[in-house]
Amino acid sequence: MKKTSVRLADGRELIYYDSRDDLVRSEEDPRPLEPVATSSEIRVDRLLGDSVAIASHRQTRTYHPPADACPLCPSLPSAPGESGSRCARRSEIPATDYDVVVFENRFPSLAGDSGRCEVVCFTADHDASFADLTEQQAALVLDAWTDRTAELAELPAVRQVFCFENRGAEIGVTLGHPHGQIYAYPFVTPRTARMLESLAAHRERTAGRNLFDDVVADEVADGRRIVVDAEHWTAFVPYAAHWPYEVHLYPKRRVPDMRALDEPARAEFPRVYLELLRRFDRIFGPDEPPTPYISAWHQAPFRTPDRADFALHLELFTIRRTSGKLKFLAGSESGMNVFINDVPPEDAAQRLREVAST
């Protein structure tokens, strides 16, 4: 992997991650951009203790542009007769092609002392999806996630790094190009805080046992909800799944974050993850549009006593519950955070096994 960091016209950082070491990234951003002005503010809900990011500047962010104006596609070279410094399409990426690119979000939810938000472009192909990547391409994305986790961990204000992908208009995605995001939070997120509380309570209740280890061991012992059992990774539908189709993916050697993955796990991850994504697209049959999903990496927060006991894992889920129908968060879920799942986890796991690649 070759890493090249450059600056966009407004001063934001952009990083190329290339599979070839001989590539030179010298393209300049010709756009007349003003410096990014943000109004991010973290406020705490005194009743729940949750942190909320107030980011009014995001109201003007790019919303469903046409494909020929996609800001995540490579820039197009100038047409014949035009100035060589001009581009037919001036996107966020100055290069005319790329492997993986990460850049600071122009409309960040978190900025400055409130954290950092980055965009990860998985491929230059606008019409592809993560599931269309080769194993080599997926491995490069994992390298980029790992590198960003390592660099963001060094920022004094950052407590937790969250790498994720939202796929599909039903999820709320406003840019169709295959991409994900990285949030560097200045606090421990509420979901992670609850996991840490459960981790501590389980350790006390069981004379030192690790909750994550026991959850995975129980799923393997039961077997009904196992989706993929690879040499270095285990994927299963959790016993109390919140979403219609939800898979949790764990490395078999517990580690707190991506930086600690060993080489065998890193090498096997692309094959396992791509298989899961491709199965998700086959759940509802060949005539259904691509399955909308959220893919979320859970990593241990920094500078916390339970960090070594936390287990890196990925949670992949869709809001589509059956053909043509979505799972909406209604009163119980949105109002009280009590989920009601219409699909038994055992049935979901069985379906995900049925659509395995042949």
Whether 298 is a known active-site residue: answer: no
How many angstroms separate the first and last alpha carbons of the chain?
Answer: 31
* Residues 313, 297: Cα–Cα separation, whole Å: 6
Compute the CA torsion angle 237, 239, 243, 248 (nearest 10 deg).
-40
Which of 57, 64, 179, 232 is catalytic? The answer is 179
Cα 266 to its chain centre, rounded Å, is 17
Residues 199, 166 share a domain:
no
Residues 252, 196 share a domain:
yes
Instruction: Tell me what pLDDT residue 37 has.
Output: 78
Residues 11, 113 share a domain:
yes
Residues 279, 249 share a domain:
yes
* Residues 301, 132: Cα–Cα separation, whole Å: 31
| pTM of the predicted model as reported, rounded to 2 decimal places | 0.93
Name residues whose C-beta falls within 8 Å of residue 217's C-beta, 6 or more positions apart in sequence: none
Q: Which of the 8 DSSP states describes residue 333?
A: I
In sequence order, which ranges of 184-310 are alpha helices (DSSP H)? 190-205, 211-222, 263-280
- Residue closest to 319 by CA, chosen among 193, 182, 171, 218: 171
Instruction: Tell me what pLDDT residue 84 has.
Output: 46
Residues 281, 233 share a domain:
yes
Residues 220, 158 share a domain:
no
Residues 35, 177 share a domain:
yes
Domain boundary among 159, 185, 211: 185
- Residue closest to 293 by CA, chosen among 122, 141, 178: 178
- The size of the chain, in residues, is 358
Residues 252, 278 share a domain:
yes
Sole residue written with tokens 């270095």: 232
- C-beta pairs of 20-26 under 8 Å, 24+ apart in sequence: 25/95
| CB 312, CB 251: distance < 8 Å | yes
Residues 209, 147 share a domain:
no
Q: Which of the 8 DSSP states describes residue 335?
A: I
Tens digit of pLDDT at every position of the chain (358 positions):
999 999 999 999 999 999 999 999 999 999 999 888 787 889 999 999 999 998 876 666 666 678 788 999 999 876 555 544 444 578 999 999 999 999 999 989 998 888 999 999 999 999 999 999 999 999 999 999 999 999 999 999 999 999 999 999 999 898 999 999 999 999 999 999 999 999 999 999 999 999 999 999 999 999 999 999 999 999 999 999 999 999 999 999 999 999 999 999 999 999 999 999 999 999 999 888 999 999 999 999 999 998 999 999 999 999 999 998 999 999 999 999 999 999 999 999 999 999 999 7
* 177 assigned ligand-binding residue: yes
Domain boundary among 185, 216, 244: 185
Instruction: Tell me what pLDDT residue 40 has.
Output: 82
* 70 assigned ligand-binding residue: yes
Instruction: Tell me what pLDDT residue 65 has.
Output: 79
Instruction: Tell me what pLDDT residue 38 has.
Output: 80
Number of domains observed in the structure of the chain: 2
The token duo for 33 is 């951009």
Q: What is the CATH number of the domain that holds 293?
A: 3.30.428.10
* 232 assigned ligand-binding residue: no
Compute the CA torsion angle 146, 148, 150, 155 (nearest 10 deg).
-160
Domain boundary among 185, 216, 247: 185
Q: Which domain holds residue 330?
A: 190-354
- Residue closest to 219 by CA, chosen among 253, 199, 198, 247: 247
Residues 207, 175 share a domain:
no
| CB 327, CB 317: distance < 8 Å | no
Other CB atoms within 10 Å distance of the CB of residue 64: 9
Residues 232, 117 share a domain:
no
| CB 89, CB 7: distance < 8 Å | no
SS3 110: coil
Task: Count the alpha carbons within 13 Å of 168 in the hemisphere toward its beta carbon.
Answer: 17
Residues 194, 181 share a domain:
no
